[in-house]
Amino acid sequence: MTLKLAGRTAFITGGANGIGLGIARALAGAGVKLALADIDGDALEIARAELLPLAAIETFVLDVRDREEFARAAKDVEDRLGPVTLLFNNAGVAGGAPVSRLSYELWDWGVDINLHGVFNGIRTFLPRMLELGEGGYIVNTSSGAGLVAGAGAGVLYQSTKFAVVGLSEALAIELADEDIGVSVLCPGPVATNIIERTRALQPSVTRSMTREQLEAARAKSGHMKSFLAGGASPDAVGRHVLEAMSERRLYVHTDPALASLVEERARAIIEAMPTQMLI
């Protein structure tokens, strides 16, 4: 069925920065009421001031790890803007460390935000969508790094982003008979400040690092910042997401750079399969 956006209410985590804000701008132009959730209260105020002339908007300071806060936000959104039928589980972090230095604390922090935060959004809003019976859409933000492993992204980041892809694929199957679409956004580089914001939030791994290790980490961070700076604009990604929703595309990509690597990975998986079932 064709999904009409105008008049619906969207809940966007990580909505005050980067891709989330790009999606919010695109939705505002489509006549959607906006509920922006972000851990950054100052950025929320700036986003609200920008978007208020364009759309009805409410903002919520929210840590996506906090399920009770999710529930409170959902109730407040319904009271102020109406029921949420467009859900964008976009909040995420890019943190990590070499696996030899990957502490339990850092692992739990990254998994709680990048994976559990997505499920928390689904668990909070999907039952309401189903009960309402007016259809809807869920977009989960993963990454190109959730499709193929590569140097630089790290075990923590790639594990969580691969998981979001699998979660989204399974969710699409379960909702196939419902009028609720599912897409998983797997962007390549996008010009955001996610590296800086992640570094400001993540548990420290630098206290016991040698000077050489610190210099290597800083060089890697600088390379990643430059890599992202040359990527797509958040606004272009936001418009592209809405186009993908209109076509009910499960996978949403922002560039073709990983195509050959994804094909190589798929071929390796298939070639590793036995020719007949083991007995």
Q: How many CB atoms lie within 10 A of CB 278?
A: 4
Spatial separation of the C-alpha atoms in residues 157 and 97, rounded to whole Å: 9
Catalytic residue among 104, 137, 157, 251: 157
157 noted as active-site residue: yes
Alpha helices in the chain (DSSP H): 18-29, 41-51, 67-81, 104-111, 117-132, 155-174, 194-201, 211-229, 234-246, 259-271
Spatial separation of the C-alpha atoms in residues 267 and 247, rounded to whole Å: 28
Pairing mode, strands 9-13 and 136-141: unpaired
Structure tokens at 234: 């958040």
Spatial separation of the C-alpha atoms in residues 96 and 157, rounded to whole Å: 7
128, 149, 150, 151: which is closest to 138 by C-alpha? 128
Q: Which residues are catalytic?
A: 157
